[in-house]
Amino acid sequence: MKILKAMLGVTAAAAISLLAYTASAQTYPERTITMVVPFAAGGPTDTVARLVAESMSKDLGQQIVVENVGGAGGTLGAGRVASSDPDGYTILLHHIGMATSATLYRKLAYDTLNAFEYVGLVTDVPMTIVARKDFEPADLKGLVEYVKANKDKVTVANAGIGAASHLCGMMFMSAIQTPLTTVPYKGTGPAMTDLLGGQVDIMCDQTTNTTKQIQGGTIKAYAVTSPARLDVLKDIPTAVEAGLPGFEVGIWHGIYTPKGTPAEINERLSKSLQIALKDPNVAARFAELGTAPSSEADATPAALKAKLESEIARWKPVIEAAGEYAD
């Protein structure tokens, strides 16, 4: 009887909070929203998040404040949102790492496919293979030869296991069949600082972090991972063109809410995301950084859910075959 009463108590409490969330969905948002970015400030995910958050804030009539919760390849920030109240006031902007970390981490604090609701896709960003400015090799072919000959001293920066830079770095090492020493950071913002300072040698990172540095000549670029050359980096060959067959990867980004967030709130955020992605300022900044906003059809809960599911399925066998896990 006691157990039954306790269970009823819990169920009643859950029902009351569900009613409260549903009621508040009609007046949402009434206060500041926190957008968690699971990497350090100043990096590419942060850049995308701040641009989109600023524009969405205008439509929502409430500020979206970006909070950087870096560490463990993006899984700390995702975990933080997974355990937040499902009231629409804590949301997550994450990238492809949401899918790869579901397999890379065998002991994740959250169950990726059951811990979130979906708002929509944001953008798909190419990666670049870059190095410190004074790194010797002149082109990708030279880089591969140099790295193979100096594998004990070349260092590769990344944002931890599960990060896009980690994934792209692993693809590079696997393509040239040469393991290298990796140096993890809480995001590629701080990793870029060390690349500029010459403390690390190479990095694979989104164009949203590297384009301005490449154009300014402060780092060296060997390749872009898009299927075709980019307008903003016309002189940089694709990795395939430069000699790495099949080396193509796009870093898709999405916005999530904690599981249980009312559908009306996810829809409201999705509408606001769609408006932000059509904001000429957002589109122009994305173009300058070598990327483009997702389409209206992709900036929807259903499209992001389908993308996450298919990407988990795509990367799972690849990671299992590599047999390298974070834990």
Task: State the residues that interact with ligand ASP by CB under 6 A.
Answer: 39-40, 43-46, 97, 158-159, 163-165, 187-189, 205-206
Q: How far is the CB of 167 from ligand ASP (least distance, A)?
A: 8
Q: Which is nearer to ligand ASP, 186 or 271 (CB)?
A: 186
Q: Which is nearer to ligand ASP, 131 or 164 (CB)?
A: 164
Least Å from the CB of residue 250 to ligand ASP:
13
Instruction: Output the smallest distance, CB 192 to ligand ASP, in A.
Output: 9
CB of 125 to ligand ASP, least distance (A): 9
Nearer to ligand ASP, 205 or 298 (CB): 205
Nearer to ligand ASP, 46 or 87 (CB): 46
What angle, rounded to 10 degrees, do the helices at 263-278 and 2-27 form? 30
* Exposed/middle/buried for residue 310 (C-beta within 10 Å: 0-12, 13-18, 19+): exposed
CA nearest neighbour of 100 among 159, 186, 46: 159
Q: 189 or 290: whose CB is closer to ligand ASP?
A: 189
Q: Which residue number places its CB atom closest to ligand ASP?
A: 43
Distance of closest approach, residue 205 Cβ to ligand ASP, in angstroms = 5
151-to-131, 140, 169, 251, 318 alpha-carbon distances in Å: 15, 15, 14, 27, 24
